[in-house]
Amino acid sequence: MVKLILTGLWVCIVTLGAVFFSVQMSKPKPPVDEAAQLRDKSELVKGESINIPMLKDGAVQGYFITRISFMMDKEKIKGVNLPLTEMMTDELFTLLVGNKMVDLSNTGGFDLQAFRNAIKQKLNERFQEEYVLDVLVEQLDYLSKDDIRANGERQPDKQVAPTKIVEGVKAEKTPSSGH
C-alpha cells in the first residue's frame, strides 16, 4: 500500500515537472529593444567642424558650416585607423557642392534623412564594409560671403547669424577609444 502511494506521488511530481517545463519553453521570447541593441553595438566618433565653400560661377558665394558625428560598429573599428575626417570632408564637398543637395532659397525643403543616408551609404561604400551605423548631424548652417564681410566690420554682439539649415542633435556620448 505504501509503495502504491509513493508511486502515485512520484508520477504526480514528474507530471507537474514536465508540464512546468513545457509551459516555460513555450513562452514567447521577450521583445528585443533594437535601439538598446544598436547602442550596445555602436561607438560615437565625434566629427570636427568643417567649412565648405559654396561655389557659383567660379566664385565663392558663402560657406556651409557643418559638424557631423558618426555611430560606428565597435567591433569593426577596433584597431582600425580610418581617415574618417578626410573622407567625411570629401563626401560633404560632393553632396553640398557637387550634387547641390541644399537649395538655399528653400532651406525648409531640405531632406535631412536623405542627406544622412547618402553620407552613410557613400562612406560605407568607400570603407567596403558596414562601419557607419548612423550619421548624427549636429550642425549644418550657411553663411554668405556678404554676411562674413559684414561681420568683420561689426561689433561681436551685432554679428549676423548663419542661416540654419538643420537644427542638429548634440552628440553627448564620448568615444571610448581614440578614433
Average pLDDT for runs of 10 along the chain of length 179: 90 92 84 73 82 78 83 81 77 74 67 86 85 86 81 70 66 46
- DSSP secondary-structure letter at 126? H
The overall pTM is greater than 0.75: no
Per-domain residue ranges of the chain: 2-32, 35-167
- DSSP secondary-structure letter at 142? E
Q: What is the CA radius of gyration of the chain?
A: 28
Cβ(43)–Cβ(72) under 8 Å? yes
Residue 91 corresponds to which cell in the numbers above? 563626401
pLDDT of the residue at 106 = 64
| Sign (positive or negative) of CA dihedral 83, 115, 93, 64 | negative
- Say yes or no: domain 35-167 is CATH 3.40.50: no
Distance CA 121, CA 126 (A): 9
